[in-house]
Amino acid sequence: MRLGIIGLPQTGKTTIFNAVTRGDIPTGISAGRVQVNTAVVDVPDPRVDKLSAMFNPKKTIYAKITYVDIAGLDGSAGKSGISGSLLNQLTQMDGFIHVLRCFEDDNVPHQEGSVDPVRDLHMMDSEFIINDLIFVERKLERLADERRKGAGRDKASIDRDIQLFEKMQTALNEEIPLRDMGMSEDEIASLSGFGFLTLKPVMLLLNLAEGKTAPKMDYPHQHSLVVDLQGKLEMDMAKLPPEDAEMFMAEYGITELSLNRMIKYSYDLLGQHSFFTVGPDECRAWTVRNGALAPEAAGVIHTDLQKGFIRAEVVAYDDLIAFGGMNEVKAKGKLRLEGKEYVVKDGDILNIRFNI
């Protein structure tokens, strides 16, 4: 999973990046400058710790999330679209964390002269819509040429593409993000290589000053979340030793550090969950989309497992912990053999049988 942290200049993107990754990247990047900071973080999961204690493996590997701090968006792309280098970074993301400034600071002036998260949100959404609309219109021109020349694909296939892209054009002209169109899974799959920005899930992160409450922010779009964070305070706490951090958390009424909360939000936003593989060599957490079938989960481990999938041995995490080990689980009849239509559940422990 790759999540891009975006927003207008001076909104606190890098502060949030440091808070959720325990990083120490200097803040205050100048407006309009394209700069990218990347961090891969382990997903804290007490289930992995318990499995590791049970199997005592040579290696314990947690699931991972990549957070990318992307500077360079300033609301000025207009009808020309987003620059190539910046667009290349944005299209690689699975989703976005859009940081909205909700704090006043005379030492950090807002580029628009005032703090207004609703205005800033509209600026960024409009920029993404314009960028996608430019691409859709260019694609429709190419499809029209392809149909007129009559070479390559059959006309029925081209017409289906034209119909889809015309619907996308209509939605974008009405300032409707593509993720709100209610496209089918097949339609979304056909667009996977294009990197449309308004098709990606978005988490709005309201960046608050210390001790402040979040303003009301409605964002009635599909595949979206609205959360708030005291960014500067969380960044400072992330740098503290654990015992000092606990003291500050108690003082400010914070029950969970931002890293843990943001990971939970990230999984919810992207519709993902974890399954596990266990053994004497390795205990490992893997990430797969909600609703994934067993062969797809096998492919997350290795493509050969998906190609040669026969069946999966499945044990629920809760059953394994309750009965104390694999032998006990088998004796109680809690180990199941599942086929290609099995929907993998959060916490499943899988052993893939395959043949190549």
Q: How many domains does the chain have?
A: 1
**More reliable by pLDDT, 328 or 149:** 328
**More reliable by pLDDT, 139 or 236:** 139
What are the angstrom distances between the C-alpha of 327 and each of 239, 315, 323, 330?
A: 43, 11, 9, 5
The answer to whether position 340 is within a domain reads yes
- Residue found under tokens 């912990």: 321
Predicted local distance difference test score (pLDDT) of residue 59:
96
Taking the CA atoms of 201, 232, 122 and 193 in sequence, report the sign of the dihedral they define. Answer: negative
Each residue of 70-110: pLDDT tens digit?
A: 988 887 766 566 888 899 999 999 999 999 999 988 888 88
Taking Cα atoms as reference points, which of 186, 187, 145, 141 lies closest to residue 153?
A: 145
Mean pLDDT of 38-52: 95
The answer to whether position 271 is within a domain reads no
Domain that holds residue 348: 291-354
Q: Is the pLDDT of residue 252 over 80?
A: no
CATH number assigned to the domain comprising residue 347: 3.10.20.30
Cα distance between residue 6 and residue 124, in whole Å: 9
The answer to whether position 299 is within a domain reads yes
Q: Is the pLDDT of residue 122 over 60?
A: yes
The answer to whether position 114 is within a domain reads no
The answer to whether position 329 is within a domain reads yes
The answer to whether position 149 is within a domain reads no
